[in-house]
């Protein structure tokens, strides 16, 4: 009887004298489940629900127009061609702009004019390489020059680009310095082309203006001017629109895209005029050509010289206005 009472009080029995080892602990208090989202009945584990973009717990969204204006204001920061949100044009020092644009444009014209000399001059190993060599040579020239000086000046290297950025951002304070540095650099680059191919120039017996500057296949001022305007607008729109893609400029990919854009313009739109799309790329070397002592060099074709200057300038301004209005 006593044993039965003990079994009823403690749960012990002859077969299980230590019932405490078999007792289950009391259940833990219920914890509210975390809010999740999933498809009921799919058998898939549910995942935590995170705030969607645009909610109060996430970064506020910026309209496309506002984003583009912000990117434009800092378009020439510490990234190639200034195509990301960064530092405004006015942040670059005058000395850095002068050195960067002079050096960069000199390298641009040295490599671009160099490929023209290589495929044109007699006793050159690249003689007759053709249009593809010229277009890709100019594309590589843009790529090398822009990577080289982008942190100094933003690597405009082209008055049309400088004007387009000024139109869109409203910052004209550094425009004269950019344009003067670019013209000086283009003249230096043209002189370096002459020095590089000095022996070939001395053995030359044909006009050489085509090595230094552009010329039309069909001399029609209106058509030639329109061709330069269109080609330049394509270039500046391709450059400015990259500021709408976050991180593109800082990644360095932007310079490659611009270089390939120049190649594409040459292949698609360069046939009628030789696609100057850059006023100083044509004017600076033309001035140097008129001064250099090159045997049988021919004239510098000053009657056509205004078209590859006015066309890209107008194209840059129109491209900047179009970008500002559309984006």
**Which pLDDT does position 115 carry in this prediction?**
98
Instruction: Tell me which DSSP letter residue 205 carries.
Output: -
Question: What are the tokens at 87?
Answer: 């530092």
pLDDT band of residue 30 (cuts 50, 70, 90) is low
pLDDT digits (tens, 9 = 90+) for 101-131: 999 999 999 999 999 999 999 999 999 999 9
77 burial class (0-12, 13-18, 19+ CB within 10 angstroms)?
A: buried
CB 168 within 8 A of CB 326: no
pLDDT digits (tens, 9 = 90+) for 136-156: 999 999 999 999 999 999 999
**Domains present along the chain, CATH in parentheses:** 76-326 (1.20.1080.10)
Q: Report the C-alpha gap between 313 and 277 in whole angstroms.
A: 9
CA dihedral of residues 252, 256, 259, 265 (deg, nearest 10): -130
pTM exceeds 0.85 for this model: no
**Which pLDDT does position 242 carry in this prediction?**
86
pLDDT at 205 over 50: yes
The mean per-residue pLDDT over the stretch 288-294 comes to: 96
CB 235 within 8 A of CB 161: yes
**Which pLDDT does position 28 carry in this prediction?**
59
CB 260 within 8 A of CB 139: yes
The DSSP result for 175-191, as a single string, is HHHHHHHHHHHHHHHHH
Query: What residues does 16 pair with on adjacent strands?
Result: 13
Question: What are the tokens at 105?
Answer: 């444009």
**Helix ranges (DSSP H) in the chain:** 2-10, 64-73, 94-120, 131-153, 159-169, 175-196, 198-202, 209-212, 221-240, 253-269, 279-291, 307-326
pLDDT at 55 over 90: no
Residue 160's nearest CA partner among 225, 102, 99, 229 is 229
pLDDT band of residue 320 (cuts 50, 70, 90) is very high
**Which pLDDT does position 27 carry in this prediction?**
61
Lowest mean pLDDT of 17-21, 159-163, 268-272, name the range.
Answer: 17-21
Angle at 280 between CA 242 and CA 270, to 5 degrees: 65
With pLDDT > 90 as the criterion, what percentage of the chain qualifies? 67
CB 101 within 8 A of CB 275: no
Phi, psi (degrees; rounded to nearest 5) at 123: 65, 25
Phi, psi (degrees; rounded to nearest 5) at 36: -130, 165
Task: Share the mean pLDDT of the chain.
Answer: 82
Q: Across 19-33, 79-93, 273-287, which has the greatest mean pLDDT?
A: 273-287
Question: What are the tokens at 55?
Answer: 């909610």
pLDDT at 187 over 70: yes
Q: Report the C-alpha gap between 96 and 98 in whole angstroms.
A: 5
């Amino acid at each position: 009887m006593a044993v039965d009472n003990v079994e009823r009080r403690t749960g012990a029995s002859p077969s299980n004298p230590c019932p405490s080892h078999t007792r289950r602990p009391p259940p833990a208090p219920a914890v509210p489940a975390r809010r999740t989202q999933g498809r009921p009945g799919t058998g898939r584990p549910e995942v935590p629900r995170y705030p969607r973009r645009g909610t109060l717990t996430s970064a506020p969204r910026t309209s496309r127009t506002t984003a583009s204006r912000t990117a434009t204001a800092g378009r020439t920061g510490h990234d190639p061609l200034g195509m990301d949100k960064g530092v405004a044009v006015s942040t670059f020092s005058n000395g850095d702009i002068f050195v960067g644009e002079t050096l960069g444009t000199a390298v641009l014209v040295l490599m671009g004019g160099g490929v023209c000399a290589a495929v044109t001059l007699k006793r050159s190993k690249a003689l007759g390489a053709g249009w593809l060599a010229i277009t890709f040579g100019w594309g590589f020239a843009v790529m090398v020059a822009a990577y080289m000086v982008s942190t100094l000046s933003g690597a405009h290297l082209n008055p049309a680009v400088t004007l387009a950025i000024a139109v869109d951002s409203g910052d004209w304070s550094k425009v004269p310095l950019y344009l003067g540095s670019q013209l000086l650099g283009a003249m230096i680059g043209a002189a370096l082309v002459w020095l590089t191919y000095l022996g070939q120039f001395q053995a030359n017996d044909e006009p050489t203006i085509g090595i230094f500057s552009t010329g039309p296949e069909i001399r029609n001022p209106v058509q030639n001017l329109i061709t330069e305007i269109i080609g330049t607008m394509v270039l500046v729109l391709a450059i400015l629109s990259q500021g709408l893609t976050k991180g593109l400029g800082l990644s360095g990919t932007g310079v490659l895209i611009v270089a390939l854009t120049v190649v594409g313009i040459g292949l698609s739109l360069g046939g009628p005029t030789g696609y100057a799309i850059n006023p100083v790329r044509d004017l600076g070397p033309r001035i140097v050509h008129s001064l250099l002592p090159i045997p049988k060099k021919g004239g510098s074709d000053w009657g056509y010289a205004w078209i590859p200057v006015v066309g890209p300038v107008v194209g840059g301004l129109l491209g900047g206005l179009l970008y500002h209005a559309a984006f």
